[in-house]
């Protein structure tokens, strides 16, 4: 598999998810400008730069990722431009480049191996480390949230962002625990969750996820404002995509995939209400975007075998048409958790 050529070693082993599919759906062409909005360990970026003589904007809010990108810049020189910012800032980044528009955007929404495999980052319940979970440079950590947040707010976050049906029980046990002992490590949080709802997961037949998976996911998404970041960039990026340019997004859980699917449906006109007395307009050129591939792509069995972390990935893609841009996308609120977050700033 081609992905093997782009895996990284050292203390962190990274294999870019669905690399072959990403390169195909981006429809790469020489002389064009592409954006890797989630640079991570650089596997996808390297694949793009090797596939054709194009230019690339490498964007990541994690400083460690940009350090890796500096090494890649030595190989590709002026073909790659580095930006240590979150991908929601892409409109401003592009505005301040000579390009002004791009021919393709890739977002791989999975957690980088640089983050997941490093215990000091606090993303994984499988390794003991400080409860951090920050992807960027925000001041508050997961520990700050868990030791101060109100119980009902915590339950809501775990329910909505982790889809954990026992969210109230988990929130109550966390709040009971912190009355006597401050929660500062991934081991502590994992132990609280396992003791409170581990029985429920053991009752499930066949393979099932670890009891801590959903709660860890919820806290991570909340402190990094991952959904807000995604909504912001998809709501503003359309006018920066050249005709025939593509947006390719890889999701890993149902919450972010639902957002991508709904916004893509809006951009392609699938969500537009049409009177039953009015014939449907079949002119694809009057739509902002079209679907170049049907539905979504999933990793092959051989990739999942080689890289189990890819098993839940879904790749969705839309292509910009020649239609004039209309700025009317407003289907999601981006400030749902803003009031809660403001208490930790």
Binding residues: 42-44, 60, 87, 108, 115
Residue 136: CA count within 13 A, CB half-sphere: 18
SS (H, E, C) the chain: CHHHHHCECCCCCECCCCHHHHHHHCCCCCCCEEEECCCCCCHHHHHHHHHCCCEEEEECCCHHHHHHHHHHHHHHHHHEEEECCCHHHHHHHHHCCCCCCEEEEEEECCCCHHHHCCHHHCCCCCCCCECCCCCCCCCCCHHHHHHHCCHHHHHHHHHHHHCCCCHHHHHHHHHHHHCCCCCCEHHHHHHHHHHHHHHHHHCCCCCCCCCCHHHHHHHHHHHHCHHHHHHHHHHHCHHHEEEEEEEEEEECCHHHHHHHHHHHHHHCCCCCCCCCCCCCCCCHHHCCEECCCCCCECCCHHHHHHCHHHCCCEEEEEEECCCCCCCCCCCCCCCCCHHHHHCCC
Positions at the binding site for S-adenosyl-L-methionine: 42-44, 60, 87, 108, 115
Q: CB atoms < 10 A from the CB of 173, how many?
A: 16
Tokens of 289: 């975007």
Distance between CA atoms of residues 166 and 155, nearest Å? 9
Distance between CA atoms of residues 342 and 51, nearest Å? 44
Residue among 260, 251, 180 at smallest CA distance from 217: 251
Reported residue count of the chain is 345
The label of the residue with tokens 């694809």 reads: 284
């Amino acid at each position: 598999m081609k992905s093997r050529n782009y895996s990284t070693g050292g203390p962190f082993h990274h294999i870019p998810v669905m690399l072959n599919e990403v390169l195909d759906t981006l429809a790469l062409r020489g002389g064009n400008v592409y954006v890797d909005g989630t640079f991570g360990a650089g596997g996808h970026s390297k694949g793009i730069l090797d596939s054709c003589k194009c230019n690339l904007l490498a964007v990541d809010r994690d400083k460690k990722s940009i350090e890796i990108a500096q090494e890649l810049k030595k190989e590709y020189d002026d073909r790659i431009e580095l930006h240590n910012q979150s991908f929601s800032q892409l409109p401003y980044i592009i505005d301040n480049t000579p390009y002004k528009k791009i021919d393709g955007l890739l977002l791989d929404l999975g957690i980088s191996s640089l983050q997941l495999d490093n215990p000091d980052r606090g993303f994984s319940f499988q390794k003991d480390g400080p409860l951090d979970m920050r992807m960027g440079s925000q001041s508050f950590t997961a520990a700050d949230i868990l030791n101060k947040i109100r119980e009902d707010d915590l339950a809501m976050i775990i329910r909505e962002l982790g889809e954990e049906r026992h969210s109230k029980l988990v929130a109550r046990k966390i709040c009971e625990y912190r009355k006597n002992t401050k929660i500062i490590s991934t081991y502590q949080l994992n132990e609280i969750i396992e003791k409170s709802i581990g029985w429920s997961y053991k009752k499930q037949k066949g393979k099932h996820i670890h009891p801590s998976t959903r709660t860890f996911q919820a806290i991570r998404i909340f402190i990094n404002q991952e959904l807000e970041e995604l909504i912001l960039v998809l709501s503003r990026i359309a006018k920066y995509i050249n005709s025939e340019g593509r947006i390719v997004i890889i999701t890993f859980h149902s919450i972010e995939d639902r957002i991508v699917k709904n916004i893509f449906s809006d951009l392609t006109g699938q969500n537009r209400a049409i009177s039953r007395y009015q014939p449907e307009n079949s002119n694809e050129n009057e739509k902002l975007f079209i679907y170049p591939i049907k539905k979504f792509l999933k990793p092959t069995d051989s990739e999942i075998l080689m890289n189990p972390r890819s098993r839940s990935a879904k790749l969705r893609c839309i292509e910009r048409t020649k239609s004039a841009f209309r700025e009317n996308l407003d289907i999601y609120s981006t400030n749902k958790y803003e009031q809660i977050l403001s208490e930790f700033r």
